[in-house]
């Protein structure tokens, strides 16, 4: 299932769009009313008491590729689909409801508290029943080991994000092995997100050394600690099956198994129609109509919280290394035109996303964009010495020709074609190159094999925790800044925001950061996801989750 989840700044890349839709015409009666403005107010998962569900059953989902690395803390494993696959198996400290409000995940922790502010200290008390899948207890040493691996002190750990552990001074044993006390050397505003949202607690067997961290889960996952565990994998068939964990101490799951099949996005809806999978994120207006007309299928809707964007490559030597050039190009892209073409009929009055940090309808959201101004773009290109020679600008004998890289999916290509037409109007040639799902991030995006690239960000309820990951510029520590763009000024602003424990002040700083990201030509947000999902009608407690986390022990099929 290719769906977005969580909120605010989005720390995990999502490969397939699966969240927005093509179509013309804006008067489709199927379009959900007020979907964008209502983010954080609802979810649509067909809620039922577990007594209404039958025991057993197999939930069938799709993914675009086998995990490149099952360690989601690693740069290679920092992928939304991998995280979704592991959510039924790995510990997280907090649950989230439809409004994005947090509560302690008591399956794993009996208490998580900010116990001091000077110095900042957080105390995690682990559920005494919580064990890894081999029966060994989850202890403070797992927390200490993860904090060490993600601290950034040893660059041999190929981490996706520090997640605030670069600000941790020490992790100590509390009253017993089931309690960890984290002491910070600098304030960290998003301390609740260190083992929550898209960040799992992983066993010390994965984080103990760089070699274990980077490679031990390339071919498969090791210890887990959830209601489900890996039962079987078959690369040749493209199939991963999760079964019940016999050592699980919480509520018994209703499902017997969850099966993930590797499918191209174009095969998802036919697989749903053929009763081969149970859930599909709807990618086109035609798909919405097809799904509505499929027997036994219901449409679930909750405002989406993933967003698609365009990232520029500003690495030294790249054609777009000049920030002024990137900004000029960004002003020539008609984002409202893109959103109108893609989302009409699926969202009432679709608007582009004008913020990198906050989503429309969320506290803190404001328009910090530079706007669509092709005349200004043309003048700025002239001033930079890129002069028209026929249809394409040139400078010092080099044509202003750029490669747009994306996953091979119709909606991404349609977006690229609109951008291609926009840029042609100001003398910039855009060449469209599609890639398969396999190795898209590890072999293409991470190495920087693009001039501009398209994908979606998907994340969690902790906006400040990902600011440094994506927008901080640390040349020796890539994390998620795949365009290699940033500045000491932006780094300093991020440091201020992440250290600010006053939410109102942090929000103001976050919007200053967002404006600077636009001004640096780092990336261009395009649109928020629509959140339309086709689901087997008798599937309960699963669907369009909105901001809410799912309880995998309560998912199942109605009697």
Quick check: 444 pLDDT over 50?
yes
In this predicted structure, what is the pLDDT of residue 10? Answer: 33
- CA 503 vs. chain centroid, Å, equals 23
Task: For the chain, give every domain's residue range.
Answer: 50-64+227-302+533-558, 80-216, 306-528
Quick check: 62 pLDDT over 60?
yes
| Residues 406/16, Cβ–Cβ less than 8 Å | no
In this predicted structure, what is the pLDDT of residue 441? Answer: 86
In this predicted structure, what is the pLDDT of residue 149? Answer: 98
The mean pLDDT value of the chain amounts to 89
In this predicted structure, what is the pLDDT of residue 6? Answer: 27
Using pLDDT thresholds of 50, 70 and 90, give the confidence band for residue 528. Answer: confident
Other CB atoms within 10 Å distance of the CB of residue 3:
29
Mean per-residue pLDDT, 164-169: 95
Tokens of 38: 């209502």
In this predicted structure, what is the pLDDT of residue 327? Answer: 98
Q: What is the four-CA torsion angle of 329, 332, 335, 338, rounded to 10 degrees? A: -100
In this predicted structure, what is the pLDDT of residue 100? Answer: 73
In this predicted structure, what is the pLDDT of residue 418? Answer: 98
In this predicted structure, what is the pLDDT of residue 308? Answer: 92
In this predicted structure, what is the pLDDT of residue 80? Answer: 83
| Residues 152/166, Cβ–Cβ less than 8 Å | yes
**DSSP class per residue in 209-246:** SHHHHHHTTSSS-----SSEEEEEEETTTTEEEEEE-T
Other CB atoms within 10 Å distance of the CB of residue 56:
12
Tokens of 502: 């006053």
Length of the chain: 559
- With a pLDDT cut of 90, the percent of the chain lying above it is 73
Provide the greatest CA pair distance for the chain: 74
Lowest mean pLDDT among 61-70, 148-157, 345-354, 355-364: 355-364
Helix (H, G, I), strand (E, B) or coil at 532: strand
Of the CATH numbers 3.30.1950.10, 1.10.3720.10, 3.40.50.1820, 3.90.76.10, which one belongs to the domain with range 80-216? 3.90.76.10
Of the CATH numbers 3.10.105.10, 3.90.1150.10, 3.30.300.30, 3.30.930.10, which one belongs to the domain with range 306-528? 3.10.105.10
| Beta strand 532-536 pairing with 279-281 | antiparallel
Quick check: 550 pLDDT over 90?
yes
List, for residues 227-250, the tens digit of each pLDDT value: 999 999 999 999 999 999 999 999
Lowest mean pLDDT among 173-177, 235-239, 282-286, 478-482: 282-286
Tokens of 479: 């994390």
Quick check: 34 pLDDT over 50?
no
Tokens of 328: 């000029």
CA distances from 201 to 4, 89, 224, 392, 439 (A): 21, 11, 10, 51, 25
Lowest mean pLDDT among 1-10, 46-55, 122-131, 359-368: 1-10
Helix (H, G, I), strand (E, B) or coil at 140: helix
Helix (H, G, I), strand (E, B) or coil at 181: strand
Distance CA 543, CA 548 (A): 11
- With a pLDDT cut of 70, the percent of the chain lying above it is 92
Mean per-residue pLDDT, 509-529: 95
Distance CA 178, CA 126 (A): 5
User: Angle 245-251-255 (CA atoms, 0-180°, nearest 5)?
Assistant: 60
Quick check: 134 pLDDT over 50?
yes
Distance CA 84, CA 6 (A): 12
In this predicted structure, what is the pLDDT of residue 225? Answer: 98
| Residues 451/318, Cβ–Cβ less than 8 Å | yes
Of the CATH numbers 2.10.109.10, 3.40.50.2300, 3.40.190.10, 3.40.50.10790, which one belongs to the domain with range 50-64+227-302+533-558? 3.40.190.10
Instruction: Answer with the residue of higher pLDDT: 55 or 19.
Output: 55
Residue 202, judged by CB atoms within 10 A of its CB (0-12, 13-18, 19+), counts as buried
Quick check: 93 pLDDT over 90?
yes
Distance CA 124, CA 169 (A): 16
Quick check: 493 pLDDT over 60?
yes
For the chain, what percentages of helix, strand and coil (3-state, to nearest 5) are there?
A: 25, 25, 50
| Residues 279/285, Cβ–Cβ less than 8 Å | no
Quick check: 2 pLDDT over 90?
no
CB hemisphere CA count around 305 (13 angstroms): 34
Lowest mean pLDDT among 182-191, 304-313, 511-520: 304-313
| Residues 546/303, Cβ–Cβ less than 8 Å | yes
In this predicted structure, what is the pLDDT of residue 151? Answer: 96
**H helical segments located in 247-296:** 265-273, 285-292
In this predicted structure, what is the pLDDT of residue 358? Answer: 83
Lowest mean pLDDT among 319-333, 356-370, 414-428, 517-531: 356-370
């Amino acid at each position: 299932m290719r769906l977005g989840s969580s909120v605010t700044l989005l720390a995990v890349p999502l490969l397939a769009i699966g969240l927005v839709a093509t179509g013309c015409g804006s008067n489709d009666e199927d379009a959900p009313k007020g979907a964008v403005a209502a983010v954080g107010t609802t979810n649509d998962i067909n809620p039922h008491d577990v007594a209404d569900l039958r025991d057993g059953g197999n939930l069938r989902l799709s993914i675009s590729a086998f995990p490149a690395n099952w360690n989601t803390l690693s740069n290679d494993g920092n992928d939304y689909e991998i995280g979704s696959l592991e959510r039924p198996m790995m510990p997280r400290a907090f649950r989230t409801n439809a409004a994005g409000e947090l509560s302690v995940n008591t399956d794993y922790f009996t208490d998580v508290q900010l116990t001091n502010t000077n110095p900042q200290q957080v105390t995690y008390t682990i559920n005494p029943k919580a064990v890894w899948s081999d029966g060994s207890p989850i202890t403070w040493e797992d927390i200490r080991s993860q904090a060490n691996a993600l601290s950034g002190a040893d660059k041999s750990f190929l981490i996706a994000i520090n997640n605030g552990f670069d600000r941790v001074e020490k992790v100590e044993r509390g009253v017993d092995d089931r309690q960890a006390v984290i002491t910070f050397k600098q304030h960290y505003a998003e301390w609740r997100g260190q083992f929550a949202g898209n960040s799992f607690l992983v066993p010390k067997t994965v984080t103990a050394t760089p070699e274990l961290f980077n490679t031990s889960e390339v071919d498969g996952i090791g210890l887990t600690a959830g209601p489900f565990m890996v039962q079987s994998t078959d690369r040749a068939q493209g199939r991963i099956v999760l079964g019940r964990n016999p050592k699980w101490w919480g509520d018994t799951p209703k499902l017997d198994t969850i099966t993930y099949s590797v499918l191209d996005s174009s095969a998802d809806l036919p697989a749903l129609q053929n009763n081969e999978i149970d859930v599909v994120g709807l990618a086109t207006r035609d798909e919405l109509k097809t799904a509505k007309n499929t027997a036994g299928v219901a449409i679930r809707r909750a405002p989406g919280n993933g967003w698609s964007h365009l990232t520029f490559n500003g690495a030294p030597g790249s054609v777009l290394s000049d920030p002024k050039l990137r900004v000029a190009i960004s002003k020539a892209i008609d984002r409202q035109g893109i959103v109108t073409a893609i989302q009409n009929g699926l969202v009432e009055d679709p608007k582009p996303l004008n913020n990198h940090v906050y989503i429309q309808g969320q506290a803190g959201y404001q328009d910090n964009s530079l706007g669509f101004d092709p005349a200004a773009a043309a003048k700025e290109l002239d001033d930079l010495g890129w002069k028209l020679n026929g249809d394409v600008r040139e400078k010092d004998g080099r044509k202003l020709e750029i490669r747009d890289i994306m996953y091979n999916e119709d909606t991404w290509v349609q977006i690229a074609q609109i951008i291609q037409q926009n840029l042609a109007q100001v003398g910039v040639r855009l060449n469209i190159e599609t890639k398969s799902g396999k190795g898209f991030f590890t072999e293409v995006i991470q190495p920087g094999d693009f001039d501009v690239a398209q994908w979606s960000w998907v994340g969690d309820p902790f906006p400040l925790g990902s600011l440094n990951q994506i927008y901080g510029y640390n040349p020796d520590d890539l994390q998620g800044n795949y365009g290699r763009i940033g500045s000491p000024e932006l780094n300093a602003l991020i440091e201020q925001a992440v250290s600010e424990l006053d939410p109102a002040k942090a929000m103001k700083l976050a919007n200053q950061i967002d404006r600077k990201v636009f001004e640096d030509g780092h990336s261009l947000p395009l649109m928020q996801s629509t959140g339309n999902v086709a689901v087997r009608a008798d599937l309960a407690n699963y669907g369009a989750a909105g901001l809410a986390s799912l309880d995998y022990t309560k998912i199942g099929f109605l009697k």
